[in-house]
Amino acid sequence: MATPAPPPDRAIPISPKSRRIGLAAATLIRLFSFTFRWRLHDSAGIAGDPPDHPMIWAFWHNRIFAIPVMYRKYLSSRSGAVLSSASKDGEIIAATVSRFGCYSIRGSSSRRGTAALRGLIDWINAGYDVAIVPDGPRGPRYKIGPGIVKLAQMTDAKILPVRVEYGSVWKFKSWDRFQLPKPFTTVNVYFDPLIDVPETLDDESFEAERLRIEQVMNPNHETD
């Protein structure tokens, strides 16, 4: 998949302070990730044979620590853009992922949601994969909002559920119980089969589709 040109005026601006914090965060992620024992479970079959169409990566908010290195390790042939919240924290995330070759799209389900959806569509139409944290930015944890289903309906992109399981972690006392994997632990990465959302759905079918995706991403019915 050739690297496409980004949509004009869509890459979000990042302040010098956020760039410095993003550099520090990216360095920490790389240092930790160097010690991890990585294991890929590719039920989607995309690592060795990536599709010729954009994908929507979906992963939980509390597993994002390993995602940037996962992207470079297993999906380096792809061009990606990450949806970041419209906040200072989102700017720092944008600065961090830029160190791994990802663009960022400003917006979230709770702030600037319509602008974010338009931005995501623009990036997909330009040939990029986009990454979404469907239970962010404030939860509830492990619950999917309607945005990812709408986005899949409005584009030809298929959803790639990405599950990350750490062998040993520190858990933060945040709303998402953020998981920081301990050095030298095992990191299991699961690419579940791609999900193709029908373009037309009535309300009942839309909710069923949302629940189906949520269940795929929660195979062990996690609530911790």
What secondary structure does DSSP assign to the chain, as a single string?
-PPPPPPTT-SPP--HHHHHHHHHHHHHHHHHHHH-EEEEEETT--SSS--SS-EEEE--GGGGGGHHHHHHHH-TTS-EEEEE-SSHHHHHHHHHHHTTT-EEEE--SSSSHHHHHHHHHHHHHTT-EEEE-TTTTT--TT---SHHHHHHHHSSPEEEEEEEEESSEEE-SSTT--EEEPTT-EEEEEEPPPB---S---HHHHHHHHHHHHHHH-TT----
Question: What does the pLDDT read at residue 11?
Answer: 55
Q: Is position 75 within any domain? A: yes
- Tens-place pLDDT, residues 79-133: 888 887 767 777 888 889 989 988 888 765 555 567 778 889 999 999 999 999 9
The residue-averaged pLDDT of 46-56 equals 92
Q: Is position 64 within any domain? A: yes
Question: What does the pLDDT read at residue 25?
Answer: 94
Q: Is position 6 within any domain? A: no
The domain in which residue 89 lies consists of: 16-168+186-217
Residue 134 has pLDDT above 70, yes or no: yes
CATH code: domain of residue 148: 3.40.1130.10
Q: Is position 177 within any domain? A: no
Q: Is position 7 within any domain? A: no
What is the count of structural domains for the chain? 1
The whole-chain average pLDDT of the chain stands at 88
Q: Is position 10 within any domain? A: no
- Tens-place pLDDT, residues 25-38: 999 999 999 999 99
Q: Is position 4 within any domain? A: no
